[in-house]
Amino acid sequence: MRYWLMKSEPADCSIDDLAALPGQTVAWYGVRNYQARNFMMQQMTPGDRAFFYHSGCPQPGIAGIATIASPAYPDASQFDASSRFFDPKSLPDAPRWFNVDVKLVRKTALIELAALRAEPALANMRVLARGNRLSITPVDPDEWRFILTRLMGLDPDEL
């Protein structure tokens, strides 16, 4: 199992929006960065876990825990001319962009970015790296356990 941090702007899809969706599942569409796309296509597998992270908002941070619910498949928004994610160079028989389905495991108290930065054990966490703008980043298993146990007060073996 791998661990991830997946950023979503609450105006697009918040943790509460995810909780209100049928099956508490959403397609993680609109990723237009090749490295983030490759994480989904080449490394993510159903059952992997992810921190659901609110970004682009007054209080960015981890808002919950999700699981990867599907293998990668073509992102339909790339073919929709009315979508802000439309890509005229992408073709149905040769798609450029993919997404996975993400299912809510649980909403948590918000772990703000400042709280993550304050922890020496998380100093190498990729999302905290200067200049990082990726919407999907891998999380080291030790970082995953630290956040769950120390910052959320959860038992990783119960998730």
Q: Is CATH 1.10.3720.10 the right assignment for the domain spanning 3-150?
A: no
Residues 6+ apart with CB under 8 A from 81: none
Q: What is the pLDDT along the chain (159 residues), one digit of tens a residue?
A: 999 999 999 999 999 999 999 999 999 999 999 999 999 999 999 999 999 999 999 999 999 999 999 999 999 999 999 999 999 999 999 999 999 999 999 999 999 999 999 999 999 999 999 999 999 999 999 999 999 999 999 998 888
Domain-by-domain residue ranges, the chain? 3-150
Where b means 16+ CB within 10 Å and e means fewer, 44-76 reads beeebbbbbbbbeeeebbbbbbbbbbbebeebe
Question: Who's near 58: CB < 8 A, 6+ residues apart?
Answer: none
Indicate the SS3 state at residue 15: helix
Name, in order, each residue with C-beta under 8 angstroms of 110's C-beta and a sequence gap of 6 or more.
54, 59, 61, 62, 63
pTM: 0.96
49 token code pair: 């876990």
CA distance 20 to 30: 20
Rounded Cα gap, residues 4 and 138, in angstroms: 4
| DSSP letter assigned to residue 144 | H
